[in-house]
Structure 1
Amino acid sequence: MEEPPDGQIRSLDARSLRGLAHPLRMQLLDALRFGGPATASQLATKLGESSGATSYHLRQLAAHGFIEDAPEHGKGRERWWKAVHRGLRFDDSVLTGAGPDLRGAAELYLHEVANTQTRDLSTWLGDRTTWPDEWNLTWDMSSATLRLTPELTRELIEKMHALVDEYRNRVSDESDADSARVRIHTHAFPITTE
């Protein structure tokens, strides 16, 4: 699949996957991607962690190129951080010939992504009555079971991603009162039906 322009999506390689595969690091990165620049102390409060832990893991994320300083926000000794990319892409090919350490990092990363997506959906279900009626009439939680070959499944996934990319910048002005960040989760995997 082609990379979106301007480094919006980062493909994970073996080194970066090892640097990211920690639940707190993944939460910190998501907090910066979705909440904007912040300090270690602000993130510690938001995530219920110590500022020492958040500081350490922020430095690790920076060392692996996921985040960088945001000096335009800081004053004095405050160190502000911001996300470098808008999203991440994991490709199983990174595991070709991988040892147990890398496979373990990949498993941790993938399970944490699944847990985060489940939390996102559960949060929406719990909070949806606080949203305007327009949003309560336009959300989706659906599933479909199809009989496909691996090639057809790959084609479907690529078409779904292309469709999402078409909408990525349709509303770019955050001051638009009718807009909100909309989370899109896609899953495609084989199941046993016996």
Structure 2
Amino acid sequence: MASRERNRPITDLGTLKALAHPLRMQLYRALCVSATATASQLAEQVDEAVSLVSYHLRKLAEHGLIEEAERQSADGRERWWRPASDGVSIRDENFRDAPEKAAAHLAATRLFHDQRAGMYRRYLDERPTWGPEWNSAASDNEALLRLTPAELAELGRELLALARKYEEKGRAAEAAGDTEGRENVALHVYGFPFRV
């Protein structure tokens, strides 16, 4: 298999629409966390029928968002999947030139935000089960800054680089066998202008 892109830019409407389906985004996110999985494994995670999950995985694959992975078991009937890149980026500037593209970008952005907010609400609901160490480590911060567009863009790049540093550190430690106490962690960062 070819080496994966670090971060795939989504610039076409078809791929954006393929990803901006609630179940497909859930499946894509689950694959990013697990690295590889079968439709059966993913169906169990999202509580959907295997046939439905298989259909949506094929749609993601048609747009190059996921790809077949090497088999992880001797069962030749199982089809394994993995993300085709280490992540995706979706930029407003790629969807501004036509009203239907702008509307699709807005709808996708709202879906992604709603799903992220749902992940955080689930954590809040399950907080008592995580214990004091994880609850002390979890952060919920807000900073109200006075920046230019260029400074906001620079801040975003620096935060992404920092998150990637910790992602690589965690994956390297895990690959070396250091799995004790490791959990999946979501880091959602939004930077946007507002007026009072």
CA contact (8 A) 2:24 2:60 kept: yes
CA contact (8 A) 1:37 1:70 kept: yes
CA contact (8 A) 2:4 2:86 kept: no
Counterpart AA for 2:20: A
Superposed CA RMSD: 2.2
Offset, 1:62: 0.6
Whole-Å separation in 1 of the counterparts to 2:37 and 2:165: 29
Whole-Å separation in 1 of the counterparts to 2:98 and 2:49: 34
Structure 1-normalised TM-score? 0.85
Whole-Å separation in 1 of the counterparts to 2:69 and 2:158: 35
Instruction: State how many pairs are aligned.
Output: 188
Q: Secondary structure at the match of 1:85?
A: coil
CA contact (8 A) 2:39 2:53 kept: yes
* Gap regions ≥5 residues in structure 2: none
Structure 2-normalised TM-score? 0.84
CA contact (8 A) 1:25 1:61 kept: yes
Deviation digits for residues 31-58 of structure 1 (CA, Å, limit 9, x no counterpart): 1111342222332232122223212111
Whole-Å separation in 1 of the counterparts to 2:44 and 2:71: 22
Q: Is residue 32 of structure 1 aligned with residue 31 of structure 2?
A: yes
CA contact (8 A) 2:16 2:105 kept: yes
Whole-Å separation in 1 of the counterparts to 2:167 and 2:93: 26
Whole-Å separation in 1 of the counterparts to 2:42 and 2:164: 29
Q: Secondary structure at the match of 2:98?
A: coil
CA contact (8 A) 1:66 1:85 kept: yes
Whole-Å separation in 1 of the counterparts to 2:182 and 2:41: 26
Counterpart residue number, 1:68: 67
Whole-Å separation in 1 of the counterparts to 2:88 and 2:152: 21
Whole-Å separation in 1 of the counterparts to 2:8 and 2:83: 11
Moved >3 Å (runs of 4+): none
CA contact (8 A) 1:22 1:108 kept: no
CA contact (8 A) 1:9 1:88 kept: yes
Counterpart residue number, 1:188: 191
* Gap regions ≥5 residues in structure 1: none
